[in-house]
Structure formats: C-alpha cells, structure tokens
Chains A and B, each alone.
Chain A
C-alpha cells in the first residue's frame, strides 16, 4: 500500500501513468466478481427472469469509461451490468436492482436488462438490440449543447439493426459528439458472427459514413483506453463521431438459459488465455506494480462487493400496497 500512496503523490511520471490503470483493474475486477455473484444468485433463485453476464468483456466498458468525464453520457445494453459499474453505478444499488429489491437503482422496477442511472450519466440499458445506439445519438444532441460527449455500447448483432445504420449516418451528417463502441463478442445471441454479419470488420462499415473507426483489442485495457481517448477527444473537439470495434468474448452464454453449447471445442479456453483481467494483471506487474498492491486491491474489491450484496439481500422487496407509482411525470 505504501507504493500506491507514493504514486498518488506523483513521485515519477511512469508511476503516475500506471495509476489510472490500477483503478481500471479494480473496476474490472469489481465487474467480474459482480457477475460471478449474479451467476450464483441466479442459480439460487434470487435473480428472476433472465440475466446476461458481462464477464470477459470488462476491458471494453472500463477502458471506454476511463476516457470519459463523470458527467458524460453512456448508453448500455441488456448485458449492461458492466456498463453501469464502469460508468459509476455503485454495486449495492445495482445488485439490489437485480434482486428486485426496493433499494435497487431503479427501485426494482427495471431489472437486469434495463438499468437507468441518470446521476451517473447512464441514460439507459436497452433490452432491444441496438436501442443504446439511438439513445446515445440523442444524448449527443444535448451533449453538444452542454460541452459533453455521449458513448454507446452495443454488440456485433446490433450492427445489423436499422438503429445502427440510421444513427451512424445521422451522427456523421450532424457531426455529433458520440462514440459508437461495438463489443464484438463473436455471437449474436446463439448465432456466430459469420452466419449473420456480412463484410469484413464491423469497423469497416464506418467508411460508408465517412466516419473514423478503429479495430481494437477489446481485451487489452490499454488499447481500449487509448482508442477511446482518441475518439472522445475528436468528439469533444467538434470533429464528430467515431466507431470503435472492440473484439472480445463473453465467458458465459448469451443469457442464463444458454450454456453456449454451440461454441467450438477449445474456443472458450483459447479466450480464457486472453482473459482481460489476467492480461491487465500481467501488464501491471510488468510495469512495476507489486503482487501485494494487486492483492490489496483484490481484498478491497471483494470486501466491498461482499458487503454490497449482503446489504442488497437484506433489503426488502417493494410492497405493492405502498407503491406510489404514477403513469406520468407532473
């Protein structure tokens, strides 16, 4: 811990540069542990309906959100727990939302797929594939007037929706400050990318809209952060939208009803070799961070999450008789 304190004082430029990535690592670990906890709670019957786990894709949400200011806007997907945690939603109200409890970030009204956290700039997570793209387009209209930036996360499957093409075009025409972040995890629900998506890289679709794009190693936190920095800077400078295609992999199936049996033998194992958490740890260690520093982060994150879930589980369900729901805003 002494070492971390020294870094906070900025004792050398090299060590200062690693500091945000220690925070990034902590955030990635929080997402991973959160998702594994959600997996366990689902199997226990505490999480209802379905849930879509973000494990394996953590470097994308965290790397992109590292490039944002807290008051910038983000829109996520139904695989959105990671988007919310990366944008700043605290684990306790998020876990409580999954559990359907009254203390949930949306009071238990939204559930796993549709988290909204306006205080942290999360304008929504969307159960309809591609919905996040339009939400970010609109947030960018406000953002342009407010000196902010909007980003959206969406999967490879969403790149075949009307939302994608309509919004890419409109953002380019209006030069809106938006970053389109495609999380290409190789599967649209159960169908492999090649069976559903024509052309080469999804990033290449940006060329049709004269929009800059990059293909990014979505499991490399540093690569995602650097690409997001470039895109966010362009957006903030009035240079319009960017499409980032982050190649990554989901460790679980599409949803809780999907064991992922369609994946070829060995594919998951291959990707686990490139587990973004593992890569981040290795890189931090290679840059001089010590095992002990990471161990203390691990301990802190695990303790924080354990407490969050314990509190979330202790919270009551909403009481239908006490529910003061209104159809309309005043």
Chain B
C-alpha cells in the first residue's frame, strides 16, 4: 500500500521539521504544548523541543498576537495557534495594526516573520461562533499573507513555506480536513512558496476555483461531472493574499467559464472579489462566470440546516449542471 499522510500529522511534521531546522522558530498557544492541541495536531512537540520553544499560554489571544509581533521583529520566528478561527476577532488589532504594517511603515527596516494557525470552517456542528472562516477578515489588509491548504501534502508544504516566509501569515486549517489522509508530499510540495496557485485537475470546459476544503469538494464534483461529459479544471488558490490571478486567468483563457466556490457569504467574499478581477482583466475570455457561496446568515447548528448551508460537492454538482444545462446523470 502506498504510504499516506494524515492532515493533522502533516501539520505536526511541518512544525517539527522547522523547529528542528531553525533554532529561532518557537511555537505557542492555548493547550498546544502539554495537551498537544485540541485537534491533536501538535502532540510531542513540547516533549521534543522543550518549554523554551514550545509552550502553553493563557487564553489571551490579543497578547499572543502582540507577543508574536514583538518577538518577530526582534529575531524570533514565532508560530502561534488561535484555536478556532472565530477567535481571530480578538487579536485583530495586533495583526492588522502592528504586524501587517511594520514592513511598509518602517521603510523596510525589518519584517515580521510570524505565522498564526487556526482551525476553521463549518460542517462539524460547532455552531455560528466556532465554524467561521476568517480569511476575508484579513484579505483586504496589505502586508498580511493568507494560506489555506487543501490536502495533507499541501498542508505540510504550505506550513513550512509559511514559517520560512518573512511576512505575517494567517494560516487556516479546515477542521473537516484534519482526519483526511492523502499521498506524501512530492518534492515540489516539501516547501511551497506562498502566492502560487496550483492546477489540481486539468480540464477544458469550466474553471472551478476554490481553496481549503473547497478543493476536495470541487474535485469530487469534477469527477462526477466528467461522467456527464463536462471536463472541469480545478484551481487550488492555496493563498488568498497574495492572489495568483495569473493562474486563474490562464485557465479561463482555456475554458471560457469560471465558477468560484467559497465557504462564506457572497457579499464581501473572496470569490466575488476574484470574479471582479477576472471580469476586469478577461471579459473577452468569458462565456460565463458565477459564484457558489453560502447564504447571508450566520452558520447554523442543526445538521439539516448546516448541510444545506454549505457549498459541498453535491451543491457544486447541482450548480454546474443547472448553469450549463447538463442533463443530470
């Protein structure tokens, strides 16, 4: 059997390898050290690297972000965890007004190599305030990068790339991916530089763009659409800032149709923003362009409501068949 990697293990391995490689890397957060993380993504790191480099902190998200900023501008490379993405509302001042600004307003005297990891996303019945995806809260902030991996191999490579990146990185881990197993990283996936999308599946009829868990959902839908004669190209953006527009434009030039799938509301979402840029740059290439997003409400708790809320594989399939007039197969 081919060797596989679990998503949560990929996170742990990336941290361990970077802690091992670079003595200035430290890792901290709530319950990440002795307990190994509430999603069991970081067990063993505390035992291996000791309390000076891997440590538990108070439940003080603002202090954690400020501490990461102060440490990052003075020669340390901090990685910290804000347990659920929803909690990212608390440290926003430090991340937005300190970390994201430093490189520019200091006239490039130094940079802020910090990474803040969080578990995000709905589908786990966690309710409105433990299920959000905070990417769009930060996408409009110059100076901050946003990475959101879609597979275990991608998670490992993107986290290593984020830790080596000299800028503040908001790193999202979809909680419904933690138990997913997948192939080991290829040589190219060992360390993935931020800002380059990847073609997750080649196709000629439609460009389907997503990120994070949206990518396996899109791939699932694409496989089913292929049996109906629709050849879908799936683009995994990998990062939402910077945004690899070129890869999307090149794909749209081939397919002339684009669907962007976002687990979040359309208004103010990254999907609508991306479509706007595609329209601005490549209207001549477009036969059709649309988004599949959530409704404009908070995320519901009840399983029936939450399942209906999410743009998962089935919903993507229905959206494409309805839009392209394909006979349901």
Contact = CB atoms under 8 A, between A and B. Distances in A.
Task: Pick from A73, A146, A170 the residue with the most CB of B within 10 Å.
Answer: A170
Interface residues of A, number: 47
A138 interface: yes
Given A134-B70, A141-B76, A327 B106 contact: no
Interface in A251-270: none
Contacts of A166: 58, 60, 62-63
Contact of A139 (B74, B97, B105): B74
B287 to A, nearest CB: 33
Contact of A138 (B66, B107, B166): B66
A316 interface: no
A131 B93 contact: yes
Tier of interface size on chain B: 35 or more
Task: Pick from A117, A139, A146, A169 the residue with the most CB of B within 10 Å.
Answer: A139
Interface stretch (B108-116, B146-154, B225-233): B108-116
Given A131-B94, A138-B67, A328-B145, A143 B74 contact: yes
Contact of A123 (B26, B55, B70, B94): B70
Interface in A128-178: 128, 131, 133-143, 145-146, 150, 162-163, 166-167, 169-170, 173-174
Interface in B12-48: 26
B242 interface: yes
B108 A326 contact: yes
A235 B105 CA distance: 30
Interface string B229-255: 000000000000010000000000000
Given A137-B63, A137-B70, A116 B106 contact: yes
A185 to B, nearest CB: 23
A133 B66 contact: yes
A330 interface: yes
A167 to B, nearest CB: 5
A170 B143 contact: no
B80 to A, nearest CB: 10
A329 B99 CA distance: 12
B75 A110 contact: no
Interface of B: 26, 52, 55, 57-58, 60, 62-76, 78, 93-94, 97-98, 101-111, 142-143, 145, 166-167, 242
